[in-house]
Copies of this chain bind each other. A is one copy, B any other.
């Protein structure tokens, strides 16, 4: 296992970040500014999200540089015709991210409007990193949140993430595997995710293995020779019930069988009965094929004898909510040496000014409400702060904890949530309040921006 984050280069940004950076630099606007990354609205039928993706985000901030080739290429863009060459030869040549980041720990339940990341850095630096931070954090958060739902629906049965082939490219598949594990999945089919992150990996045979042999039983026998303890026999290539009979007649002692199509509930009962009648009570049944939290919830509710689930597309593409309304918004700038909270008032897209902390008020070990307050405001009683310093002067303060630890602390945090939030059709109703001083600051910023 090697913990290598995916590399993201400096050009992984929207062009307007670079034009603004050039403009800030030219105008001498290089004093620190603060941006916050948050989700405006939870997706439908979600009552919480699980923060994830911060490890890749911090690795990106630590590594971002512009190569000479990249700088020369940028300089030649027509848009930059009037940008003084010092921007390329001095500023971008020496560029690195030198700022501070506070972040919610990966695996933490979060809600709408709550900053997941707070970035304070010289304005052009903080601006340039927006695109990559949003893409990295929002996708991982989206998948971890979906995984928490799927795992909850499975009610204790293992869930393996099988979604790499349907992900938005293989790199998305890799990020999805990590985030799904944080959200509670027990493993992944993706070998690279196991290699990089130490996630347990599983998978044994596809239909193609069965099709390769002239007889299904030959396919099963040949597989058992090399994988006697770990084989999962796939039964639905031609006819699930007939394949069950053949497998039993073969005399093999299958550790597990897999159903991938058809009426899973009735088929699982039929297969279970046949296995039991043959003395194969120890053989477990694994189900795959277009599963999501709703299908799994139904299967569990109907009491189908299924011992584990493989979930693909629903996890790796978050197919019912493939984009989060995540934004990265400027909340404070320095003007003439003084800090000023700033807002936007665009319809449906307004913001609150000033750097913020999220306070989670706890009662008997369970969160009961959150308060979004200005940094430095007195905390409410019995509250813990969610944003913790993660980076200073462009360097991480602490290594990312082992993934299994993140997963375990997420599991505990989800279990402590109010029960009503865990329903698959929950509405977003966890109380998230904005502090009175922040509301007041909004009015001030509002006057100021005219």
Contacts and interface: CB of A to CB of B under 8 A. Distances in A.
A226 B166 contact: no
Contact of A212 (B18, B175, B201, B333): B333
Interface stretch (A126-134, A149-157, A425-433): A126-134
Complex copy number for this chain: 2
Given A207-B344, A239-B345, A262-B347, A79 B230 contact: yes
Interface string A337-355: 0001011111111000000
Nearest to A445: B211
B205 A14 contact: no
Contacts of A102: none
Interface residues of A, number: 119
A22 interface: yes
A74 to B, nearest CB: 8
B344 A170 contact: no
Main secondary structure of the interface of A (DSSP, over half): mixed
Contacts of A77: 194, 201
A77 B340 CA distance: 56
A411 to B, nearest CB: 24
A238 B225 CA distance: 70
A265 interface: no
A250 interface: no
A249 interface: no
Given A223-B23, A346-B261, A170 B14 contact: no
A175 B165 contact: no
A206 B16 contact: yes
B165 A20 contact: no
Contact of A349 (B176, B190, B223, B261): B261
Interface of A: 1-2, 6, 8-9, 11-20, 22-24, 26-27, 29, 33, 35, 69-70, 73-74, 77-79, 81-83, 123, 127, 130-132, 134-136, 138-140, 162, 164-176, 189-192, 194-195, 201-212, 214-216, 222-223, 225-230, 236-239, 260-262, 313, 317-319, 322-324, 326, 328-330, 333, 335, 340, 342-349, 448-450
Query: Top 7 nearest A-B pairs by Cβ distance?
Result: A16-B203, A171-B171, A15-B203, A322-B322, A168-B172, A168-B168, A208-B330
